[in-house]
Amino acid sequence: MGLPGSETWASIEPVEKGWSKDRKYYAVSQSGEELLVRLSMAEEADDKKREISVMEQIAAVGVIMSRPRYHGLNGDAFYAVYSWVRGESLEDALPTLSEAEQYALGIKAGRVLKTMHTVDAPADREPWGSRMRRKIGIHQSRYDDSGIYIPGQEHAKAYIEANLHLLEGRPQVLQHGDFHPGNLILTPDHEIGVIDFNRWDYGDPWEEFYKAAYFSREVSIPFTRGQIEGYFDGPPPELFYRLLALYLADIILFSAVWATQFGDKEVQGMKDRAQVILADYDNFTRFVPGWVE
């Protein structure tokens, strides 16, 4: 590939999974070390360097993950080389396991997420309430202008309007941004590894769980329950469910708009997920989803 260090690689092959626009490769060095190589556009270098800095902070608290090794510019590309997390994607592994095993892995995943959330956001961040209100406003405006229609949208919008006050005073931490089985690895010793940090952000730690209710839930409900209870070391407070419903009411409308960049199939997939969420919450007449009971 002509990248620094690539002369020591015995093999390299593309990695096709994931939503990232980065080009990803699996490489094995001549000494047998497994590596992840990511290539981005050179103009993304500053963003990618911030991402690497964030990953180093998360690695420092002991999370099993792709750890940054080295990076730089190579022509019109920014390259970054990471350690490879050996194991099987949880997205593939969970359906092969018993419900008890799925739940136990959810407990582990929740504890991993809790560990990640020990990394606080910078003190000068805009308060979450004003920031998220603005974000929701942008989402709704883009949805309304898109021409996309989600049956039941009025119920989601009504729940949002009635519960915006819950955003005030929320803490902010470093978020993975895409924490679900597709980005989690079941390691050979049955632990949870974390990959793909390119959607990291700072925000309400409980906002992370909308991906669990949106994506993890369709892979394994026992795992999703376990993640919540592992995070809270037991049942969560009522406020958690009220806020999770708020984040989901927002995202079921905007996700279909976001997916337009990936084509009609992905848009339809998001519209289908919206109907699942609306059913889970009885058109947001309840704030605890049906699958919890």
Least confident of 69-78, 90-99, 150-159, 281-290: 69-78
pLDDT over threshold 80, residue 17:
no
d(CA 171, CA 118): 11
Residues 240 and 206 sit within 8 Å (Cβ to Cβ): yes
Identical fold at 6-83 and 88-292?
no
* CATH for 6-83 (3.40.50.12170, 1.20.1250.20, 3.90.1150.150, 3.30.200.20): 3.30.200.20
Give the model's pLDDT for residue 18: 64
Domain covering 88-292, topology? Aminoglycoside 3'-phosphotransferase; Chain: A, domain 2 (3.90.1200)
Task: Give the C-alpha separation, 241 to 287, whole Å.
Answer: 6
Q: What is the mean pLDDT of residues 277-292?
A: 96
pLDDT score for 19: 62
Show the tokens assigned to 20. Answer: 């990232």
Between the CA of residue 289 and those of 187, 230, 292, what are the distances in Å? 30, 18, 6
pLDDT in tens, 130-139: 999 999 999 9
Write down the pTM of the prediction: 0.92
At 10, the pLDDT band (50, 70, 90 cuts) reads very high
Reported as a single tens digit per residue, the pLDDT across 217-250 is 999 999 999 999 999 999 999 999 999 999 999 9
At 37-54, the pLDDT tens digits run 999 999 999 999 999 999
At residue 156, the pLDDT reads 97
Q: What is the mean pLDDT of residues 73-102?
A: 95
CA distance 36 to 14: 10
What are the domain boundaries of the chain? 6-83, 88-292
